[in-house]
Amino acid sequence: MNMNKMISILMVLFFSTNNVISNPQENVNAQFPGGGTELVKYIDTNLKYPEEAQKQKWEGQSLIGFTVNEDGLISNIRVIKSSFLVLDNEAMRLIKMMPKWNPAILNGTPKKEMVVLPINFDLKRKNIMY
């Protein structure tokens, strides 16, 4: 496993460990359906490394911020930290097509929450077509 992927997985697991609901009044963060493991699978399955970026050998990390609304729908998607425009656009596409998330819970009530997700682009990925 490469270092970027490991860092992403650790960040996802860190953010998702507070999401175990043992008490309906407990406060929890917004969570991708199925948790961090399913989020990593979703990204690995749906990320399409842009052809131009492959040809130019561009790699990087795009930090994408978005809001998970009370109903789990995603809105207000934006680039927080850019790598290359073509990579940022792919990261935004990936976020836009995500399923509904489990919303944050504050005092037993669903609340909006901002999420920042790193999307890594690494040319060493096995599923890239050159």
112, 104 Cβ separation under 8 angstroms: yes
pLDDT tens, residue by residue, 105-121:
999 999 999 999 999 99
Please give the average per-residue pLDDT across 71-92, as a whole number: 96
**Position 21 pLDDT exceeds 60:** no
Ramachandran class of 13: left when φ > 0, alpha when ψ lies in -120 to 50, beta otherwise:
alpha
Query: Which CATH class, in words, describes the domain spanning 3-121?
Result: alpha beta
Please give the average per-residue pLDDT across 51-76, as a whole number: 96
* Domain ranges across the chain: 3-121
pLDDT of residue 24: 54
100, 72 Cβ separation under 8 angstroms: yes
Give the neighbor-by-neighbor strand order of the sheet with 74-81. Answer: 74-81, 60-68, 113-121
Instruction: Return the structure tokens found at 103.
Output: 């919303």
Other Cβ atoms within 10 Å of 112 Cβ, number: 15
Instruction: Indicate the Cα dihedral angle 92, 97, 101, 103, nearest 10°.
Output: 60
Q: How far apart are CA 60 and CA 73, in angstroms?
A: 27
Q: How far apart are CA 47 and CA 95, in angstroms?
A: 10
